[in-house]
Amino acid sequence: MPIPLVIHRCRAQWFVGLLLAVCWLLPVRAAEPEAYRIGVEQVDYYPIYSAVPPDNQYRGYARDLLDLFAARENLRVTYVVLPVRRLSHAYWAGQLDLVFPDNPRWAAAQKPAGVTYSQPVLQFQDAMLVLPERKGQPRQSFRRLGFVRGFTPWKFQDDIAAGRVVIQEAPNPEGLIHMVMAGHADAANMAQQVARFHLKRHGLERGLVVEPSLLPLSDSYYHLSSIRHPKLIRRFDAFLRREQRAVQALKARYEL
């Protein structure tokens, strides 16, 4: 008799339809985020970035920007905080996926071939800051130059080698400012934006001024770089173009 066969077919079709409906209603599991290790400097250079012992918590403009990139691109990033020299060696040895900050001019002779750099993440002006009453004094009167610990004073290597200057270090920009204000250093090196942030924070907007005879003002740039993932750098560049308003909002938040 054909009737039972029709019934079986109807039941089968109903069951298949039910399975399809259930599968359609079930939440689709999101793709696992890609995981990357970003090497960052164990340096306090807030508000651009900061990561210092004991917790080495990475914070500042760079952290928020990279977190936003990771969120937009469904990435899982781990920040690996290392002293500057160890960071470079770990990166060149292939132990890290990306590094921030980087610049094509830094340690160019030691870097392996094939480093891919992003478009500039931040433009800044590196400056030497002095007390207002010392502005315009002869260059040779500025012997004690202050730098944030971890930074290499490569622009003054000839002066250091000739004994014309000595380098003094402070743990952070605030420490450098206090050293110059107290007369323990003749000049302090830092980005103008960083100096402006900390001077304003302490009500000392005109406490230090730029002395261009020590270091002519010029634009410098921070980049994100990768040896192993050039396509990821291109994705980051696309993110910067696409999210210009969000990036500008972050810069405004950190007064950069």
- Find the mean pLDDT for residues 218-230: 96
Q: How confident is the model at residue 232 (pLDDT cuts 50, 70, 90)?
A: very high
Which pLDDT belongs to residue 30? 56
Amino acid at 110: Q
Domains detected in the chain: 34-122+222-253 (3.40.190.10), 124-219 (3.40.190.10)
What is the rounded CA–CA span in Å between residue 41 and residue 25?
47
Q: Which tokens belong to 173?
A: 């920009």
Determine how β-strand 187-191 pairs with β-strand 122-130: antiparallel
Residues 22-66 pLDDT 10s: 344 445 455 788 999 999 999 999 999 999 999 999 999 999 999
Contact 127, 115 (CB under 8 A): no
Quote the pTM value: 0.85
Residues 70-110 pLDDT 10s: 999 999 999 999 999 999 999 999 999 999 999 999 988 88
SS3 category, 50 = strand
Q: What CA dihedral angle connects 225, 226, 230 and 232, to 10 degrees?
A: -80
Which pLDDT belongs to residue 213? 94
Residues 175-210 pLDDT 10s: 999 999 999 999 999 999 999 999 999 999 999 999
ω into residue 47 within 30 of 0, thus cis?
A: yes
Which pLDDT belongs to residue 29? 52
What is the rounded CA–CA span in Å between residue 132 and residue 172?
21
User: What's the mean per-residue pLDDT of the chain?
Assistant: 90
Nearest Cα to 128, choosing from 143, 110, 106?
A: 143
The residue ranking higher by pLDDT, 18 or 32, is 32
C-alpha distances in Å from residue 122, one per residue of 76, 111, 216: 23, 22, 19
Q: How confident is the model at residue 172 (pLDDT cuts 50, 70, 90)?
A: very high
Which pLDDT belongs to residue 24? 44
Q: How confident is the model at residue 13 (pLDDT cuts 50, 70, 90)?
A: low
Q: Which tokens belong to 42?
A: 């164990």
